[in-house]
Amino acid sequence: EYVNLNEFFNYILDRFDMMIKTENERGDGFHHLPQKTYSIKREFAPRDLWVELDTDKMMQVIDNIMNNAIKYSPDGGVITARLIENQQSVVVSISDQGLGIPRKDINKIFDRFYRVDKARSRKQGGTGLGLAISKEVVEAHHGHIWVDSAEGRGSTFYISLPYQSYENGDEWDAEN
Ligand code: ATP
Ligand code: MG
């Protein structure tokens, strides 16, 4: 399915913006974890980027990376979501100001069940499958997923997907 990535990503991020609002309004004591506040900053390529996606699966991928960004950050962090257009690819990136990932673990976090610092991660909940599944899904789209991180300062996850840039004036839907 061909999807407008800008709209698709906005839709997912809007849900995360909404989630924090409903959490704050509810205050009904059903949440056992202290509620986290965060804000999302969007920096998107100026024009619409059309890519072929399995939307259900790619939504799971972005949800997991967003949930990680929140889960592994202290309260009040800023999450920056970017959409970048290149000649042959588009890049989706999600940056947080959280715990970061130690250098020795960075190649392992995409492995099944791998979690940095088991004791700390257990408290946070989860299985350690999120990024392994994300990698499978992204590679099934002929894309790549990787991370850039500094311990104590934060992490940026990148997803690149194949893309054919079109020239200005050569609109994808131009009447022929
Ligand atoms: P699940 O996603 O299955 O609920 P999980 O979040 O622990 O569990 P992954 O999403 O696969 O599993 O992440 C693997 C590990 O990588 C995490 O346990 C955490 O230690 C580390 N990690 C992932 N994202 C971040 C992040 N944004 N900042 C710091 N550490 C991270
Ligand atoms: Mg996860």
Cα of 42 vs centre of ligand 1, distance in Å, is 22
Cα of 68 vs centre of ligand 2, distance in Å, is 5
145 lines ligand 1 (CB under 6 A): no
Q: What is the pTM of this model?
A: 0.90
97 lines ligand 1 (CB under 6 A): no
Query: pLDDT tens digit string along 43-85?
Result: 999 999 999 999 999 999 999 999 999 999 998 999 999 999 9
Vertex 75, ends 73 and 76: CA angle to 5°? 105
Q: Cα separation of 176 and 173, whole Å? A: 9
ipTM of this complex prediction, to 2 decimal places: 0.98
Ligand 1 site-directed mutation target among 33, 113, 131, 147, most atoms within 8 Å of CB? 131
